[in-house]
Amino acid sequence: MQLSLAQNYGVGTMLAVALAAVVLTALFYRRAFGSLGVRRWGLLLALRVVAILLIVGLLFQPVLSYQTESGRKPAVVFLLDASASMSLSDDASGRSRFDRAREKMERWQEKLQNDFRLLPIAFAEQPQRLDGPESLRELAPTGKATSLVEALRFAAAQLPPAEVAAVLLLSDGIHNAAGHPSQTARQLGVVVHSVGVGASVRNSLAYRDIQVVGLDCPDRMMLGNMARVTASIDAVGLGGRTAKVVLEQDGRPVASQELTLDDAEGSQTVALEFRPTEKGRHTYTVRVEPAAEEKIIENNRRSAVATVVEKGIRVLYLEGTLRTEYGALVDRFLAKDPDVEFCALVQTKPNVFLRRTNMTGLQLDAIPSDPSTIDRFDVFLIGDLDSSYFRPRQQEMFVERVRRGAGLLMLGGYHSLGPGGYDGTPLGDALPLQLGGRRIGQVTEPFLPVLTPEGVRHPIFANIAGFFPTRQGSPTRPGLPTLDGCTRVQGARPSATVLAACPASLGAMPVLAVQPLERGRTAVFAGDTTRRWQQGPQARDRESPFTRFWGQTVRWLAGREESVEATAGVTVSTDKAYYEPGESIRISAVVRDRQGRGTTDASVVATIRRPDGKTRQTTLSPVAGPGGHYASVFEPKTSGTHAMTVEARQQNALLASDTMSVEVGRTNLEFERLDLDEKTLERIAEATGGRYVPLATADHLIDQLDHRQEKRIVRIERRLYWPPGFWAAFVGVLTVEWVLRRKYRLR
């Protein structure tokens, strides 16, 4: 027993202070109140002494410490695997792995309950405490995945390690979630004995099985391009048989192949190729038609989700001067279109170019002169850049790329088309208009292009034809500013389609014309700057055709026919086709503002609803590249369908939203590996100083548990002061003393 004081003061110091205070108080009271009777004087002195002792207690804060012995039962934690693989019957009794393990666990609990505290826990993907025998009897092996890591962590967190005699893990050792069980076990600080439940089904001569053990499916596929999905097939006891392997898209077969099964250990690889024909998110399933002798057919298929997209359009824009059209196209269109990657080179002095780009890994500071760089682009825009800056071989390489599927557009200007000396060059000959010589000149009168009947119907003018006059009359959506003029041309080539021309008063000369060039497309837009098409309507808070006109022009040149919607929108996607339990998911979103342009100043939030109905949120941040692209990462805690809703807001107003679902864990994940994994269970036990035993011989492990109660020396501390009570008593004592002094008519 020990008495300790605050600030490490000694007991003698406290007693000396208390004694001195009492003596001084007694002397003061005797001199001041000696005329009182002994009884009254003694009462006042006693009250003052009590007040002094209370203050001394508050100052020195005495604590009485002593030790005592405590006996407590050690704890045994049971971890019972309740995943679907435990439902397998693989012994002569015909009973499932789970039923055999549960029966053993019940018997062991009866045997240990007098000497141990028992903590039964069931686990599959996530662990849970069992309330008692009734909950154990009602348990069924239905878990869709197995996380030995989560089970071990949960078991170790139930009690301090010093109170746990052992953790008994009853499992088939199959772990198909994130993390490494043996590494986790090594960090727990408790002994884990692992009990193996089940057998190697491959050792049975009568066992027959086909499994799809792996699926390599790209998360993104390009529309119309050849795509490959690779499956790994493992068969047991069916060597020499032929099996049909089928690839399905949303339940519809798109490819198949015959596979001759072998008896070798390990899987066989089957590559299935097809061309996606539908954009969007699709489920791809590889299935193998089951053999007649198979008992388990759940593992004959595996699925993944992938998105079919059209690849981003890569645009090379070459401009000869820092004119207003360059600023309008780069700042208002190329940098805002979420489907476009671009590199813009503008000449600031002869053969010196300033670069603007959102393409990563591109080092380009001059007009490209090698096929590998030119081939990286899908569309070429050539502005007010004289033909003398292109060598003939360079021009031929550009034209060759167009012939193989790219697009080429030349813009009007004082140093382009005929005035730029392109007539008779490889680039000029590829264009749909006859350009004329350098002295052909310019049209300087303002005008709006007049659409031809072909232009009204063409994809370039989809949803915006009403802004322009036609041969039949004025625009149906008036108010579009005029062009300041255009570059003159001689006329259209026989293979060209004229989409727009000057008004009849200016000679009805072609202004916009297109034509095919083998697998590619070329166009000429001879008009002066379209910047006013964007600025004018915007200043009057009206709709503008600028974004749609250039977006649809570039898409048509790239071989795309879709129109551009000038409305807000969100498109959400994920980075992979399939996620393992516990694996991080990357969410991506493309956000367009109310004019249909990619925006980077929106607030983008994803709300994820888990399979259990709970929700969580994550904020998406802008990423480098085309405008309007956002991304974030979240970690799912459970398997199953995760429904995501992504909302984009500007100035607290909702722009748009999009939804999608992500599957974490496969439907038949638990049936992909069925053999007892003794190596994993042995590593877990070895990492903690425990033992691994099969279920059939595990009884002796229970008999060897230490049944002795733990004897512990417990240090107990009792505070001999209580600040709230002491202060209340101090005030009360002084109050009583003051009342008595008034009663005795003392000052």
The CATH number given to whatever domain includes residue 612 is 2.60.40.1930
Mean pLDDT in residue range 277-282: 85
Q: pLDDT, tens digit, for every residue of 182-217?
A: 999 999 999 999 999 988 766 666 678 888 888 888
The answer as to whether 383 is a domain residue is yes
Which one of 500, 526, 557 terminates a domain?
Answer: 557
The answer as to whether 21 is a domain residue is yes
Q: pLDDT, tens digit, for every residue of 487-516?
A: 999 999 999 999 999 998 888 999 999 999
56 shares its domain with 85: no
Closest CA to 247 of 215, 301, 286: 286
Residues 605, 619: contact at Cβ < 8 Å?
Answer: yes
The answer as to whether 458 is a domain residue is yes
The answer as to whether 563 is a domain residue is no
Strand partners, 501: 450, 510
Closest CA to 127 of 143, 103, 105: 143
Mean pLDDT in residue range 440-446: 94
Residue 614: exposure state from Cβ atoms within 10 A (0-12, 13-18, ≥19): exposed
Query: In 3-state terms, what secondary structure has residue 442?
Result: strand
In this structure, what CATH number is given to the domain that contains residue 237?
2.60.40.10
Q: How far apart are CA 471 and CA 474, in angstroms?
A: 8
468 shares its domain with 441: yes
457 shares its domain with 346: yes
**Residue 718 Rama label (left phi>0; alpha psi -120 to 50; beta):** beta
Locate 59 and state its tokens.
């100052």
586 shares its domain with 624: yes
Closest CA to 147 of 130, 160, 165, 128: 128
| Residue count (the chain) | 747
332 shares its domain with 421: yes
pLDDT at res. 541 = 64
403 shares its domain with 533: yes
Neighbouring C-alpha atoms within 13 Å toward the C-beta of 747: 1
Element (H, E) at 398: helix 392-403
User: Which stretches within 413-545 are classed as H helix?
Assistant: 426-430, 453-457, 531-539
Q: pLDDT, tens digit, for every residue of 570-613?
A: 888 887 656 776 678 888 888 988 878 788 889 999 999 987 78
pLDDT at res. 169 = 96
Q: How does residue 673 score in pLDDT terms, banded at 50, 70 and 90? A: confident
In this structure, what CATH number is given to the domain that contains residue 397?
3.40.50.880
Domain assignment of residue 51, given as a range: 2-69+717-743
User: Which stretches within 404-475 are classed as H helix?
Assistant: 426-430, 453-457
Tokens 């050539």 -> residue:
382
542 shares its domain with 612: no
Into how many domains does the chain fold?
5
The answer as to whether 703 is a domain residue is no
The answer as to whether 711 is a domain residue is no
Closest CA to 553 of 381, 704, 389, 413: 381
* The model scores a pTM over 0.85: no
Q: How far apart are CA 407 and CA 223, in angstroms?
A: 18
Q: How does residue 385 score in pLDDT terms, banded at 50, 70 and 90? A: very high
The answer as to whether 702 is a domain residue is no
Query: In 3-state terms, what secondary structure has residue 74?
Result: coil
* N-to-C CA span, the chain: 46
Residue 409 corresponds to which amino acid?
L
214 shares its domain with 114: no
Which one of 309, 328, 354 terminates a domain?
Answer: 309
629 shares its domain with 480: no
Q: How far apart are CA 71 and CA 61, in angstroms?
A: 31
Closest CA to 283 of 744, 678, 660, 740: 660
In this structure, what CATH number is given to the domain that contains residue 689?
3.40.50.410
DSSP state of 700: H
The answer as to whether 701 is a domain residue is no
- pLDDT of 709 above 50: no
- pLDDT of 260 above 90: yes
Across the chain, what does the average pLDDT equal?
87
Angle at 183 between CA 687 and CA 169, to 5 degrees: 60
Which one of 244, 275, 309 terminates a domain?
Answer: 309
pLDDT at res. 698 = 92
354 shares its domain with 437: yes
Closest CA to 484 of 531, 415, 416: 531
Neighbouring C-alpha atoms within 13 Å toward the C-beta of 624: 5
297 shares its domain with 387: no
Q: List CB contacts of 449: < 8 A, sequence separation 6 or more.
A: 468, 483, 500, 501, 502, 511, 512, 527
pLDDT at res. 461 = 93
Q: pLDDT, tens digit, for every residue of 540-569?
A: 667 788 988 999 999 999 988 766 766 788
Residues 418, 487: contact at Cβ < 8 Å?
Answer: yes
Q: How far apart are CA 498 and CA 489, in angstroms?
A: 12
Give the number of other CB atoms < 10 A from CB of residue 247: 24
685 shares its domain with 644: no
